Structure 1
Amino acid sequence: MKNLERLAGDIRFAGINELLARLAVVGKTFADTPELSKLTFIVKRTHADFMTALEATLSGYFSVASDAMRDVLEMQYLLMDFAINPDHADDWLTTDDKDRWKRFAPAPVRKRLQTAGVVHFGDKAESKDYKGHSMGLHVSPVPLINSADGVVPEHSWLNEAGFWEMFDHDRGLVRGLTMFIEKAAPGSPAEDEIKKDMTSFDEASRQAERLKRVWLAIPEAGVKLHEGDPATAGNIIIGTMVGSGIIDRELIVSAGEDDAVGEALIETMRQLAESDEPVSRAAAKAFLSIAKSDDTNTTTTSSSGQGERPSQ
């Protein structure tokens, strides 16, 4: 309930709603297009997965949201496989379970995509993403990124991570759907629909990505602090917070030139450290900890006064 109250009217809700509406229409165009109708259920399944991920994110069950997005990821790869191997869709639909698993399990599908140069695995982000989902889904000694009882605490960054997952995997899904439609039914209403702009979704995706960068800046700053460089550590956090719109650029431009402005920055961070927005809260707390550890009391603005990330 607290997540729902916090996010009421948020662009991320509008973005996910636009995505769900688009998938519903795309599903209808699949059903109405003979070349696509046999795979209508895949589009409906992805729609259900995003609904599940949204509900799980709001309820604090990040692991459930992650599992739903792994399902979407596998369907993305299948659609890409069907696009580069047109006979595979019918084979997948008609073969027996044993042969289907042998030919269309995630590993052989990913191998074909890698060979075709459609998706680059290895040490790439795509591989790490898939591996992360698999580690979360299958029972292993590796602890889940979650709390002990599976429910994310109120102020945890994992309340945001579900949105990162949804926006990331929708982009991949749209790519897979587009590839398949272009191959199986070029010029169809389905192609027109999948290629339409999604204004709210794109804006929401950018906002989610900005918050993700802020979160990733915290451990990066921690490394610099451990190396004895609190000024750079603070700059890393400040730069991403400015870039995300969490704090005002002008406050940073002026900070350090006037002690009162520097105090205003600290006070802003103190307020954010008590806010309901988990990523802003975590970043502000990290910055205050860095500032406290800095014996020179530097407000960490000298090398990035315009609010940009410093060069590393």
Structure 2
Amino acid sequence: MTRHLLRDDDLTPQEQAEILTLAAELKTDRWKVQPLAGPQTVAVIFDKSSTRTRVSFAVGIADLGGSPLIISTANSQLGGKETPADTARVLERQVAAIVWRTYAQAGLEEMAAGTRVPVINALSDDFHPCQILADLLTIQEHKGELKGLTLAFFGDGRTNMGQSYVLGGVTAGMHVRVASPVEYAPREDVVADADRRAAQTGGSVALYTDPNEAAAGADIIVTDTWVSMGKEDEKLQRLRDLTPYKVSQELMSLAKDDAIFIHCLPADRGYEVDAEVIDGPQSVVWDEAENRLHAQKALLVWLLQQQ
């Protein structure tokens, strides 16, 4: 059966751990496996601009012996004359996998339904599972065992990153705290799904409106941009609403002494995080950015093995 990664809980806890283990191995030996040798082609489709996703998938596919085919929807029929399902039917006869950075989660679900090759969510409005795998790999490198760690996220909990931390974090057995205004909390159905997964792993999800309470004793402090792509017209309102959730050195001081700071980038220094934090000794954002490469390679290898 063809497997896809459309949201973080598409992976079981055991499967997530297998991918992270493989990612660590591939980081040590980048050319250990080359399942795409031939080279086979992977379609990498972009509705949104990108730096880390574009580079890490292109380099990773090449590392695996394959050829990345970068497609911009602005220069294709996808989203215009052609449906995601029809595009998938065309691509699946020519490529080994499809990676799509898009807006609506529904488009990814339509593309994956009945498709014979793996479809990977490289970012949607709802979830960002590839980034979470990279973040978990980074946390694992710096903290060892993931299970039982407390991760505190600050800002817009309803963004793709907030919701993926909730699902992916509890899948790893972590205790995930989301600090945000009530109207920016993760969707109720996502929290309910995370609670069900947490019952299997011993993890937990907790929602806070007080950022100081959320930071207290945390192992990992996380934030994301307050103005995601497509939300630019809401910038002033978001700055007003989310300013109390800025990650400052004062907030970091409430976490454990050895807490680390992560951010998926790009960052708006002075808005969601102060420069002294993201550029400081507790920040591991550059390890995190590199780990997109290793985590996505492991994901591709694992998905291709399920074929």
- Which TM-score applies when normalising by structure 1? 0.23
Judging by fraction of residues, say which structure has more helix. 1
Judging by fraction of residues, say which structure has more strand. 2
- Which TM-score applies when normalising by structure 2? 0.23
Higher Cα Rg, which structure: 1
